[in-house]
């Protein structure tokens, strides 16, 4: 179910809406909600298009690679193991 609501919860919400707004106002209310959702979707799509257009015209940032650094050799202590010939 949407938003994690079960069937009973949705039924209670619908009954509350019916009591608050009455049977004649509900179609008007839903029409307004539908128009609002449609406008929201149009706005989101327009935002996506404008962002894609801005990214298309944006120059890529220059890639800077760090200069190699010298690694100091770490002295190694001599071992007591016999050397093989």
In a domain, 75, yes or no: no
Instruction: Let me know: does 17 contact 26? Beta carbons within 8 Å.
Output: yes
In a domain, 36, yes or no: yes
Q: Which domain holds residue 36?
A: 26-59
Q: Name every residue whose Cβ is closer than 8 Å to that of residue 21 and which is 6 or more positions away in sequence.
A: 29
Retrieve residue 43's tokens. 């706005």
In a domain, 79, yes or no: no
78 backbone dihedrals φ, ψ, rounded to 5°: -70, 150
Q: Answer yes or no: is pLDDT of 1 > 60.
A: no
**Domains in the chain, number:** 1
In a domain, 40, yes or no: yes
In a domain, 35, yes or no: yes
Retrieve residue 75's tokens. 């002295």
- Could you tell me the pTM of the whole model? 0.46
In a domain, 8, yes or no: no
Using alpha carbons, select from 17, 57, 55 the residue that is nearest to residue 33. 17
In a domain, 65, yes or no: no
**Lowest mean per-residue pLDDT among 14-23, 32-41, 55-64:** 55-64
């Amino acid at each position: 179910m949407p938003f994690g609501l079960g069937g009973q919860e949705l039924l209670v919400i619908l009954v509350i809406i019916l009591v608050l707004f009455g049977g004649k106002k509900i179609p008007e209310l839903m029409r307004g909600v539908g128009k609002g959702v449609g406008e929201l979707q149009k706005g989101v799509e327009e935002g996506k298009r404008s962002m894609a257009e801005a990214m298309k015209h944006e120059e890529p940032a220059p890639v800077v690679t760090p200069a190699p650094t010298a690694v100091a050799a770490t002295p190694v202590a001599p071992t007591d193991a016999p050397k093989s010939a």
